[in-house]
Amino acid sequence: MALEKPYADVPGTTIFDSDQARKGYHLSCFCMTLMKAENRDRFHANERAYLDEWPMTEEQKQAVLARDYNQMIWLGGNIYFLAKLFASDGKSFQYAAASMTGMSQEEYANMMLNGGRSPDGQPNEGVKNRG
């Protein structure tokens, strides 16, 4: 019998459950190696060659090369091991989060200053303006 997934219909959200974790295992192994400075250097010197050391899918490798975080999340990524990747690029959680929303980092930062996004996916800013 299939597992119950009441979270499947939450908009704009991928829950890192057993199916996702299974898909993302090798992607996670790659990301975890970036916690060592010498590996970060080796990765940045030749990304493709470094990625080929892991039995990840070609789709996963392309998503990493493109730094497409939504795609990585859909293919079994989790933001906390993907953090090793964007940290190695010198990027912040806010940069990575903004990149997944289709907003520029500045637009996203402004949305956060205005109270963030409501659970229905719309910015809270309107709520604030209505008092």
Partner 1 sequence: MAKITAGVTMSHVPALGAAIDLGKTGDAYWAPAFKGFELSKQWMKDNTPDVVFLVYNDHMTAFSLDIIPTFAIGCAERFQPADEGWGPRPVPVVEGHPELAWHIAQSVIQQDFDLTIVNKMDVDHGLTVPLSLMCGQPKAWPFKVIPFPVNVVTYPPPSGNRCYQLGKAIRRAVDSFDGDLNVQIWGTGGMSHQLQGPRAGLINKPFDYAFLDGIVNDPETIAKIPHIDYVRQAGSEGIELVMWLIMRGALDAKVKQIHRFHHVPTSNTALGHLILENPR
Q: Which residues here bind partner 1, judged by CB under 8 A?
A: 6-7, 10-18, 21, 24-25, 28-29, 31-32, 34-37, 40, 69-70, 73, 78-81, 83-85, 87-88, 90, 92-94, 96-98, 100-102, 108, 111-113, 115-119, 121, 124
Q: Residue 34 or 63: which CB sits closer to partner 1?
A: 34
CB of 59 to partner 1, least distance (A): 18
> Which residues touch 60 (CB under 8 Å, ≥6 apart)?
26, 27, 72, 75, 76
CA terminus-to-terminus distance, the chain: 48
Tell me which amino acid residue 99 is: S
Q: Is the dihedral of CA 87, 43, 21, 101 positive or negative?
A: positive
- Torsion (CA) 17, 101, 99, 94 in degrees, nearest 10: -80
Q: Residue 93 or 126: which CB sits closer to partner 1?
A: 93
CB of 77 to partner 1, least distance (A): 8
CB of 37 to partner 1, least distance (A): 8
CB of 41 to partner 1, least distance (A): 13
